[in-house]
Structure 1
Amino acid sequence: MGTILSVFAHPDDETFICGGTLAKYASEGHRVVLLCATKGEMGRRMGDPPVATRESLPVIREQELFNACQALKISNLRFLGLRDKLLEIHPFETLKQMVLVQMTEIMPDAVITFHEILGGHPDHCAIGRATKEAFTVYKTKNSKANLFYVCWSNVAQDPRSYGFSQEQITKITIRKYLLQKLYGFRAHQTQSSMDEWVWGNDQETINHFSEYEYFIQANEPFGSNKNSII
């Protein structure tokens, strides 16, 4: 069994983007660790009807993330304790070292994070870049480790338009874990309560999800196992 470290910016990133994959590997007995940079305290969603205030939001979102990790069977949750929406201006070397310290302690076989450009949100891009640079150092200690970027379906379908090869795309089938992903969505109540489709009949609701999640393998050799992270 291997260890997967996922490094994201906010509570809900892990579920909304790759919850099925994390649930799959955790359910199969792999060690899955989630490192979250912030508590999402500057998020605009407070629930519908509101269940949080600006003051209570970080505590509530921390508990929501804990609940989502239970749904996804992630037993190891860690926070960097940084400020939401300020990762892009956080001293880069400090951010990189914070991630590297965690990476060196956890000793993952695979790391999942955002791409530093395709992540979109400035916090996503900042934590992705810091994780990439930390991984470069970590790779000298664990040469067999792999780095993966979460990947939107449009990128996976046409990777060359984004500067990647088809061999870099890893496609994970998550059909068996869609209910766990749904329960993760529901755990993030402040963020998902206004999306009516999330709260319908379970079997009808999971039809909104794709049966696949995609990743970009960052380091060569590519294409040796395109259907697996580990």
Structure 2
Amino acid sequence: MVDFAKHEQVVVIYPHPDDESFGTSGTILNFRDAGVPVTYLCGTLGEMGRNMGTPFFANRETLPEIRKQELIDACNVLDMDLVMLGYRDKTLEFESKQEVAANLKERIEAAGATLVITFYPPYAVHPDHDAMGAAAFEAVRQMDHDKRPEVWATAISNDREAKLGEPDIVLDTESVFDRKLAAIKSHKSQAEGMLKKMQESSNFVGEYESALQRLRYESFYKVDVDDVMS
């Protein structure tokens, strides 16, 4: 059982719009319902993404502004603060980890974070995911020990349990899933394709029920940044 109220400030660090909604929005909502402020440090606008809506309603030129507004809408659903860091999509692996970490460290400390949620490199599949998680780990590593926040990390690779063991935290989001689904659907350019595939599935039992089956549980590893390579 997670004591959400024990934290004073949560900072979520992911690279893309929708990373927060698909994998962590139920957790975010539980923190907000407990009165804990949450801030999302979003690395990029996902402007190089391939999904342009289903059917298409975006193009390469319009996608950045569309995804920016979708991100704002999702954060409004989740009742959390948003900081857009302004990095370029699909290039985070080429940024200086130390420079990104310094940026994140300053923001984590300014927020007074007692918990950071990020991706677990190298178990996060996408190079941007791994690079942002590595920079977040480094940011916390550079902090004074007595000021470091707790770190929860999301691992999504198929071999995560073989390499890392069972997650330390598994949260059932059913009680807030209506709002989680609303946050996901705010990312219309990215979510409609997923929802359409669910509808075409032979085991489709309705949008809410099918999404609940796939996305109900959110899991995290508690990380001591001194014990991991990032």
TM-score (norm 2): 0.84
For 2:157 and 2:128, locate their aligned partners in 1 and report how far apart those are by CA, in whole Å: 21
* Residue matched to 1:213: 218
1:104 Cα deviation from its structure 2 partner: 1.4
- 1:136 paired with 2:146, answer no
8 A Cα contact 1:96 1:133, kept in partner: yes
For 1:7 and 1:126, locate their aligned partners in 2 and report how far apart those are by CA, in whole Å: 11
Give the unaligned 5+ runs of structure 1. 221-230
* Residue matched to 2:131: 126
* Residue matched to 1:91: 96
* Residue matched to 2:24: 18
1:201 Cα deviation from its structure 2 partner: 4.8
Letter in 1 for 2:155: C
Quickly say closer, same or farther: Cα 1:213–1:155, change in 2 above 3 A: farther
Quickly say closer, same or farther: Cα 1:56–1:106, change in 2 above 3 A: same
Identity of aligned residues (%): 31
Q: Which 4+ residue blocks in structure 1 deviate beyond 6 angstroms?
A: 153-156
- 1:72 paired with 2:78, answer yes
* Residue matched to 2:192: 193
Letter in 2 for 1:147: V
TM-score (norm 1): 0.84
For 1:35 and 1:69, locate their aligned partners in 2 and report how far apart those are by CA, in whole Å: 11
For 2:52 and 2:208, locate their aligned partners in 1 and report how far apart those are by CA, in whole Å: 27
| CA deviation string 1:67-116 (max 9, x = no partner) | 11122222x10011000000000122211111111111111110000111
Letter in 2 for 1:217: K
* Residue matched to 2:153: 149
* Residue matched to 2:181: 182
Q: 1:44 aligns with which of 46, 50, 58?
A: 50
For 1:135 and 1:84, locate their aligned partners in 2 and report how far apart those are by CA, in whole Å: 23
For 2:223 and 2:159, locate their aligned partners in 1 and report how far apart those are by CA, in whole Å: 14
1:203 Cα deviation from its structure 2 partner: 3.8
For the residue of structure 1 that corresponds to 2:51, the secondary structure is coil
* Residue matched to 2:169: 170
8 A Cα contact 2:119 2:133, kept in partner: yes
Quickly say closer, same or farther: Cα 1:17–1:44, change in 2 above 3 A: same
For 1:153 and 1:18, locate their aligned partners in 2 and report how far apart those are by CA, in whole Å: 16
For the residue of structure 2 that corresponds to 1:171, the secondary structure is strand
Give RMSD over aligned pairs: 2.3
For 2:156 and 2:176, locate their aligned partners in 1 and report how far apart those are by CA, in whole Å: 19
1:153 Cα deviation from its structure 2 partner: 9.2
| Residues matched between the structures, number | 213
| CA deviation string 1:109-141 (max 9, x = no partner) | 100001110011000000000000001122535
Quickly say closer, same or farther: Cα 1:116–1:203, change in 2 above 3 A: closer
1:20 Cα deviation from its structure 2 partner: 1.0
| CA deviation string 1:40-65 (max 9, x = no partner) | 00000110122211111111101101
